[in-house]
Chain A
Amino acid sequence: MLSLIVFLPIIAGLVILAVPSSQKQIIRIVSLLASLAQVVLSVLIWRAYDPSLPGITAGPGGSPLGSFQFVEKLPWISLNLGGFGSLNIEYFLGIDGISVTMVILTALISAIGILSSWTIQKQVKGYFILYNLLASAMMGCFVALDFFLFYVFWEIMLLPMYFLIGIWGGPNREYAAIKFFLYTLFGSVFMLLVMIGLYFSVIDPVTGNHTFSLVAMASQENYIKDAILGPDNVMWRYVAFIVLFIGFAIKVPMFPFHTWLPDAHVEAPTPISVILAGVLLKLGTYGMMRINFPLFPEVFHASMYVIGIFGAINIIYGAFCALAQQDLKKMVAYSSISHMGYVLLGLAAGNSEGMVGALYQMFNHGTITAMLFLLVGVIYDRAHTRQIDKFGGLASYMPVYAAVVTIAWFASLGLPGLSGFISEAFVFVGAFSSVTTRYIAMVSVLGIVFGAAYLLWSLQRVFLGKRKADAAYDIEVGEDGHEHIHFHDWKGKLDLDGRELAMLVPLAVIIIFLGIYPMPVLGMLTTSINKLVEVLSPVVMTTMN
């Protein structure tokens, strides 16, 4: 099941490889079918998922079964290393409450990204092959339970992303693409060293060999006491935690490692921005929850305060930057930084409320930001500009568009009744109830105010009032006596067309539904989060050492 959902896009990519590049429609449809199949599979997984199993660590008897679900475990590579025992790498997939939400999100956003890619005209074949490769790798990251496998998927994402930004991007794409590549690689090479160090420090309780299994690594009793990352080696455990954290923080992106994000977003084509904001950023915080924190709980405990401060900086700094942007897409990009700050704050709280909020915020941010970028893409297609001051009064000419934008914008600023509100509320409840992050939370609340400021202000400038003098469109009076607007070289429908609605409406429905009744998602993740909090709690730590 999980293998299928991971490799479907790659299979589609191979099929596309055989299709002549002139058959653009076939290429698109093959990709769409694969991603729709992914969505169907993710729904099946969601239906069959048993929310009572905790995940995170191994179940009874050291086996992942009984704790993780949909487990697939096959020996992949087994090398004899002489005096160092044998190097065992497993093809080990499985999901728990943390990953199941992300799997659903990834399938959904991938499918919407394909729809959004319909307008790509340049080198369609290459585009969809790379896109499918990216989609597979993202999905693989979320379901891999072997560190080696996770790392392979993690790195496979980089190259397609580089080309997708670099070939199909905007004017400054070369710079943005290589910047993205270098930043992420810089983070991940250190992850490679930590991975090797962990391998030499951890023993699989079942086989007695060293292992890359994240499940075995999540239990502190599996560590060799005096190994390089064993409990006795306090200094190296701190170093390992910090470099891993930086590796994931670059992906989040956390201040001060965020500078690649605005560049990448501004240059990337709309579907790639959607993928980037909707899924890729979540990999950073997912990595923290799956690897960074549970493997080094005592270091996490010591650094909660610092993580919280960085979360607060992200929230406020991102909001301030967004406030200053003239480019609508750049504003949304900075709003992403701000909103990922809530995730960090929730994680830093270290309690169930905060962690649930963080994970739920990851899901909601994925859907909401995908919508924001799609909507920016809609107006950019028509006007070929994203400058906020080139519009004005659009609401009366594009009423459907304005309505959808309003939903998305309000969801982003956390209006009650929409999904963003619930997750942010959980984050703050968690952060306030934790002694460590209480004061940080008080400061962070300001972020909501600034968030409302830039969102409402941009909404007002683009949709309300009158047409600006140098706007990107002209007003014509039609034969029926009504005023219409006209974009210079836009031949399509003025308001949202069917394809655009097909992308936006499902997202809007999800956002509204989960804002009113969040249990379908929350219900899946609470058991795992409680388990994670238990693994991270200092009580467990002291009994173990």
Chain B
Amino acid sequence: MFELPSGAEIQGIIASLEASVGFFIPELYLSVLFMLLIVVDLFAKGRKNNLLSITTLLGLAGSIFFIYQQHSMQPGEFFFGMYVLDEFALFFKYLFVISAMIAVVITMADEQFDREVKSIGEYYALIVAMLIGMIMMASSADLMMIILSMELVSLTAYILTGYFKRDPRSSEAALKYLVYGAVSSGLMIYGFSLIYGLTAQTNLIKISAELSAHGYDPVVMILASLIVLAGFGYKIGAVPFHFWSPDVYEGAPTPITAYLSVASKASGFALLMRFFYIAVPHVVNPYEDIIGIDWVSLLIILSIASMIYGNVVALWQKNVKRLLAYSSIAHAGYLLLGIIVMDQLGTQATLFYLLSYFLVNFGAFYVVILIANKTGSENLDDYRGLGKRMPLAGAALTVFLISLVGLPPTVGFIGKLMIFSALLAKGSLYIWLALIGVMTSVISLYYYMLIPLNMYLRDSEQHGEKNMDSGMLAKVLMALLMILTLYFGLFFQPLSDFAKYSSAMFGVKLY
């Protein structure tokens, strides 16, 4: 079967690899950081030692330099079309690196780690490993590469979710995550195999060319799209692939919850956009496909289901982390709206929404950690009277929640504005989707406001003179995130310009 490659071919392969490595420096750097952290862990024993976390932070900060250098490189594909470098991928690289940094910072603040784990050990190394996986997800242009990078993210995420070994909730969450993850990646790989069967290609751009050139059986294609969507939907936490997320969000260590809810979700979106924008050929009107249904219709169903289900079920939640889990399902629905319109404005809106969600969600989880440090609880009832006892934390959390609802003058409002603008720019085609979007965000106001309601409108039964001061550093960080949320709500041009710049995707024919 196999013919051994000739010497000249091997030479060519090596030359091509050598040329490609130049585009792969941030990933290589992070891999070195990953190994370095394991080595440092051998010397830095004891949980109170901040050596590991500081090394991670500095190392991650260093990677930003290498990512920044990639701006000057020509967008293109390398490693035989396995991997691409474009503005779109760079956007996500920044997003993931900064997410990882924030995750490290809020881990340092979380006192639950002091109680639950003896040694922080490989925790930070795993965060970096997950980061590498996510970066590769955002840059993959080949089915094999997608599977590999997604598995890297998933495996590290399972371990991190179950990091509190003695906490049954944490272990349960990890197991559920693993089971759901295994099923959905299995489905996704099956979908990929169907696509490979149709086209005999694994490269996304070549798949697209093959499908447009030779036509395809729409039934098989829609089946493949549906099955592939199961894998992506699981990563972005959209209904009906969301069942893992409330339990995982509640059980996982809170920094990991924040990391998953922002970065992991964003990586899912990166993949989803790249896959569907490039690999699948597009009909002009989604309703004119042969069987009257295509992947855009599937996304519409997913989006509506997520917005309604996430926002409605959140109404009954009593645990703040669980509440935020359902809210993150709902936000996946809003993000999908930006993808459905399939144009540059929609992509820009989605990327902007991701940025705003990133800022606000990290802020919210950070405050939840600080409050849990003092009260030892994430239950809504234990938030009573906190507004008086922790004024800054209360104010900051209120701002973040208002931003999640999408009220001005916060960045969340601009995110919603951009998404709805993208929908309405299509004329009357998607008005009904925008209507569902705004109506569900009215519903969301009720459960988000439950938190300020408990913090400010109700008094706590216990009047302990407990020290509720969370320290200078925490306060500064909190205030910074709050001010950024408000600032970008009024002067959002830099974020929006960045999102526009980043909407350029290599090989995309949509816009």
Q: How far is the CA of A45 from the CA of B348 in the complex (A)?
A: 43
Q: How far is the CA of A478 from the CA of B421 in the complex (A)?
A: 72
Q: How far is the CA of A166 from the CA of B398 in the complex (A)?
A: 14
Are B407's CB and A159's CB within 8 A? yes
Are A193's CB and B456's CB within 8 A? no
- Given known A-B contacts A78-B493, A174-B453, A200 and B424 have beta carbons under 8 A apart: yes
Interface residues in A187-246 by Cβ distance below 8 A to B read: 189-190, 192-193, 196-197, 199-200, 228, 233, 236
- Given known A-B contacts A166-B457, A174-B453, A189-B439, A156 and B409 have beta carbons under 8 A apart: yes
- Closest partner residue, chain B, to A149 (CB atom): B408
Q: How far is the CA of A417 from the CA of B220 in the complex (A)?
A: 82
Are A236's CB and B428's CB within 8 A? yes
Are B456's CB and A166's CB within 8 A? yes
Contacts of B172 in A (CB 8 A): none
Closest Cβ–Cβ distance, residue A349 to chain B (whole Å): 33
Are A82's CB and B409's CB within 8 A? no
CB of B438 closer than 8 Å to a CB of A: yes
Are B408's CB and A156's CB within 8 A? yes
CB of A541 closer than 8 Å to a CB of B: no
Are A182's CB and B417's CB within 8 A? no
Q: How far is the CA of A84 from the CA of B449 in the complex (A)?
A: 36
Contacts of A166 in B (CB 8 A): 453, 456-457
CB of B497 closer than 8 Å to a CB of A: yes
Contacts of A77 in B (CB 8 A): 491-493
Closest Cβ–Cβ distance, residue A224 to chain B (whole Å): 11
Interface of B is mostly: helix
CB of B79 closer than 8 Å to a CB of A: no
Contact of B408 among A80, A152, A228 (CB under 8 A): A152
Interface residues in B360-393 by Cβ distance below 8 A to A read: 388
CB of A536 closer than 8 Å to a CB of B: no
CB of B151 closer than 8 Å to a CB of A: no
CB of B496 closer than 8 Å to a CB of A: yes
Contacts of B431 in A (CB 8 A): 193, 228, 236
Closest Cβ–Cβ distance, residue B477 to chain A (whole Å): 19
Contacts of B260 in A (CB 8 A): none
Are B420's CB and A196's CB within 8 A? yes
Contacts of B493 in A (CB 8 A): 77-79
Interface string of B397-432 (1 = CB under 8 A from A): 010001000011100010011001100110110010
Closest Cβ–Cβ distance, residue B207 to chain A (whole Å): 26
Are B407's CB and A155's CB within 8 A? yes
Q: How far is the CA of A89 from the CA of B413 in the complex (A)?
A: 15
Closest Cβ–Cβ distance, residue A165 to chain B (whole Å): 10
Are A159's CB and B420's CB within 8 A? no
Q: How far is the CA of A233 from the CA of B431 in the complex (A)?
A: 14
Contacts of B348 in A (CB 8 A): 81-82
CB of A185 closer than 8 Å to a CB of B: yes
Are B500's CB and A193's CB within 8 A? no
- Closest partner residue, chain B, to A227 (CB atom): B427
Q: How far is the CA of A163 from the CA of B438 in the complex (A)?
A: 23
CB of A178 closer than 8 Å to a CB of B: yes
Interface size on B, residues (CB 8 A): 41
Contacts of A87 in B (CB 8 A): 421
CB of A181 closer than 8 Å to a CB of B: yes
Contacts of A200 in B (CB 8 A): 421, 424-425
CB of A485 closer than 8 Å to a CB of B: no
CB of A151 closer than 8 Å to a CB of B: yes
CB of A162 closer than 8 Å to a CB of B: yes
CB of B344 closer than 8 Å to a CB of A: yes
Are B425's CB and A182's CB within 8 A? no
CB of B343 closer than 8 Å to a CB of A: yes
- Given known A-B contacts A77-B492, A78-B493, A159-B402, A192 and B420 have beta carbons under 8 A apart: yes
Contact of B457 among A83, A155, A177, A182 (CB under 8 A): A177
Contacts of B496 in A (CB 8 A): 79
Contacts of A330 in B (CB 8 A): none
Are A81's CB and B446's CB within 8 A? no
CB of A167 closer than 8 Å to a CB of B: yes
Are A190's CB and B445's CB within 8 A? no
CB of B435 closer than 8 Å to a CB of A: yes
Contact of B449 among A81, A123, A178 (CB under 8 A): A178
Are B409's CB and A152's CB within 8 A? yes
Are A81's CB and B345's CB within 8 A? yes
Are B438's CB and A190's CB within 8 A? yes
- Closest partner residue, chain A, to B492 (CB atom): A77
Interface string of B476-511 (1 = CB under 8 A from A): 000000000000000111001100100000000001
Closest Cβ–Cβ distance, residue A315 to chain B (whole Å): 30
CB of A186 closer than 8 Å to a CB of B: yes
Closest Cβ–Cβ distance, residue B390 to chain A (whole Å): 14
Closest Cβ–Cβ distance, residue A128 to chain B (whole Å): 15
Are A196's CB and B424's CB within 8 A? yes
Are B408's CB and A196's CB within 8 A? no
CB of A173 closer than 8 Å to a CB of B: yes
Are A84's CB and B345's CB within 8 A? yes
Are B492's CB and A178's CB within 8 A? no
Are A82's CB and B421's CB within 8 A? no
CB of B441 closer than 8 Å to a CB of A: yes
CB of A158 closer than 8 Å to a CB of B: yes
Closest Cβ–Cβ distance, residue A242 to chain B (whole Å): 13
CB of B179 closer than 8 Å to a CB of A: no
Are B420's CB and A228's CB within 8 A? no
CB of B10 closer than 8 Å to a CB of A: no
Are A196's CB and B407's CB within 8 A? no
Contacts of B417 in A (CB 8 A): 192, 196
Contact of B421 among A156, A159, A199 (CB under 8 A): A199
CB of B442 closer than 8 Å to a CB of A: yes
Q: Can you spell out 20 A-B residue pairs with CB atoms less than 8 angstroms apart?
A: A79-B497, A80-B500, A82-B345, A82-B500, A83-B343, A83-B345, A84-B425, A158-B407, A159-B398, A166-B456, A166-B457, A178-B453, A181-B449, A182-B446, A185-B407, A190-B438, A192-B416, A193-B424, A233-B428, A236-B431
User: Could you list 5 further interchain pairs (A-B, Cβ under 8 angstroms) beyond the known A81-B500, A178-B446?
Assistant: A78-B493, A84-B425, A162-B449, A189-B441, A193-B424
Binding site for A on B (CB under 8 A): 343-345, 348, 388, 398, 402, 407-409, 413, 416-417, 420-421, 424-425, 427-428, 431, 434-435, 438-439, 441-442, 445-446, 449, 452-453, 456-458, 491-493, 496-497, 500, 511
- Nearest 7 pairs of A and B residues by beta carbon: A189-B438, A152-B408, A166-B457, A196-B424, A155-B408, A82-B344, A186-B442
